[in-house]
Amino acid sequence: MVAIAKADKVTLEIQDNYQKQTYRNRAYIAHSNGKLLLNIPIRHSKNIRHQKTKDVAPENNFPWLTEHWKSIQIAYRTSPYFEFYEDDLALLFKSPVLKLQDFNIKILETIAELIGLEAQILSSNVFDKHTQLLDMRHLANCKKEPSYNFDPYHQVFEANHGYIGNLSIIDLLFNEGPNTLNYLQSQTLESSLI
């Protein structure tokens, strides 16, 4: 989100082959027990070896939307700005999700609107392995999570677990509210991570 907040235009890669263990289907939130994984189960096709990211569908036989929203409510209901954003975000968890990428884009657009992000958000038309754009696709990989060294901000469970970095944007939103965009734009994404 720091990279997106600092950009004028962002192109989301949707033409690549779906890769497991990325932030495309998972996020972490701060919870009473520490860092909690919210993982969207993926429906895997046995007949297709490589599935395009844009075609990946969640496994909706499991009530993951309801469970994710309950976890978010439990984790953040005492945060300073939860009630301010609750209704807008609850809508994301009320409709069935047919495609993972569409859900991710809807989340990004909702967050962008809530924080006042004005970057133009586009989707790729073709896969370009050696893009001429600033390539940030590696930031979706969560296998080797780097330390971003962003400034800490107040978190709900900080007294119990200390500051927890690399959480979902909703952690920042519920704790910093209208200051979210200012916080993102004030952070530095080290050139070694770009």
The confidence score (pLDDT) of residue 137 equals 45
Between CA 146 and CA 166 the distance in angstroms is 9
Strands (E), 41-112: 42-43, 57-58
The answer to whether residues 25 and 43 touch, using CB atoms and an 8 Å cutoff, is no
Rounded-to-integer distance, Cα 33 and Cα 89, Å:
23
CA-CA distance, 60 to 97, in Å (whole number)? Answer: 8
Rounded to whole angstroms, the Cα distance separating 194 from 164 reads 22
Q: Across the strands, what pairs with 121?
A: 10
User: Phi then psi for 126, rounded to 5 degrees?
Assistant: -140, 155
- Number of C-beta neighbours around residue 152 at 10 A: 10
Divide the 194 residues of the chain into consecutive groups of 10 and give the mean pLDDT of each group.
85 71 84 93 76 86 95 96 97 94 93 92 67 52 69 94 93 97 90 45
The pLDDT of residue 116 is 95
> What is residue 138's DSSP assignment?
G
Query: Alpha carbon of 23 to those of 68, 96, 136: distances in Å?
Result: 15, 20, 13
Token pair for 31: 């919870």
Residue 191: per-residue pLDDT: 47
Q: Give 31's strand partners.
A: 34
Contact 180, 174 (CB under 8 A): no
- DSSP for 32-44? TTEEEEEE--EEP
Quote the tokens at residue 155. 């978190």
Q: Check residue 194 and give its pLDDT.
A: 46
